[in-house]
Structure 1
Amino acid sequence: TWGWNQRGTLGHPPETKTESSPGPVDALAGFKIVQAAIGGWHCLAVDDKGRAYAWGGNEYGQCGEEPERKEDGTRALRRDIPIPQRCALKLKVRQVAAGGTHSVVLTQEGHVWTWGQPWPPGDIKQISTPVRVQGLEKVRVIAVGAFHNLALTEDVILWAWGNNEYGQLGTGDTQPRSQPIRVEGLSDLSL
């Protein structure tokens, strides 16, 4: 990784502020990483055995660890995870995707799981343990924006959920969706 190591996003020791050239993420040196993703302030990776890893900003639980809270219990304190650690321990992961404040994984069975700050944020409290997205089966690939999600199933149906302020879900309106909704008008797709 390279760039700005703010919040531990590079997976390098905290004393490293910037990296101007690509360098290894030492904590992952013994693993064969097959795919990675970067979100707002956190990163995810998956190895060839289906194990997922997370590091970086974790104030919403997006790295899979419960964020620290103020003594009054109201607002999460910033808790950065500068060195990659395992996440989604019970899942065999095929693909990872990182949003602005949440994480999404696709399992080898074709199921989608998510954790961190959901959208719309009032629907569910932030969560640091993976929760299966209901209504999605046989998913081939996932994609995540800052605050919205897409899943393409084996039967070439695109599903969307999350923030829709600018119509990014493709539903013909601007209403956010906490559950996946089929994106109509793409019936001629083929892969």
Structure 2
Amino acid sequence: MLRRVLVIGPCGAGKSTLASALSTRLGLPLFHIDQLNWKPGWVEGSKDEIRQKLAAITAADRWIIDGTYDGTLGPRLDRADTVIYLDFPISLCVRRLLKRIWTYRGRSRPDMTDGCPERFDIAFLVYLIRWNSGPRIRTEALLNGHENKIIRLQNPAELQRWMDLLPNVA
């Protein structure tokens, strides 16, 4: 049974969209790590602030947290019973990221802190393009020892097949 769920993967994979759908379907409280981390005006919270917020959330018995943030992934992995890894092709993620930027340009998206309007950020795009040679390697290393919790989905069709098998308990 899914009770403490992490949704991870590269930017633009659809983590927040999936987490929202799962929250509704499973009746679990949802926490977007971007909202926990960012303050209005794109001011990043301190590492201690996000760790304290996450410690309080993960101490609970039921939750969904979307976001990879490898600096805080270890403690979340320890408490999670399920990790849904959207291991999608980076080319798809780049297209989705660009679509998201266009769709929400100038305003905050639903999974982001109010006051953090969507914008084009070349450094963020480069981070995503380089996912497989940096962030992915760090994420995969952190996942070692948690293989029994991981549901790795490699494309939207696999995700849909998995979703079709889930009960609707809410």
Question: Would the TM-score normalized by the shorter structure come out above 0.5?
Answer: no
State the TM-score, normalizing by the size of structure 2.
0.23
Higher RCO, 1 vs 2 (CA within 8 Å, ≥6 residues apart): 2
Which is richer in helix? Answer: 2
Task: Tell me which protein shows more strand as a share of its residues.
Answer: 1
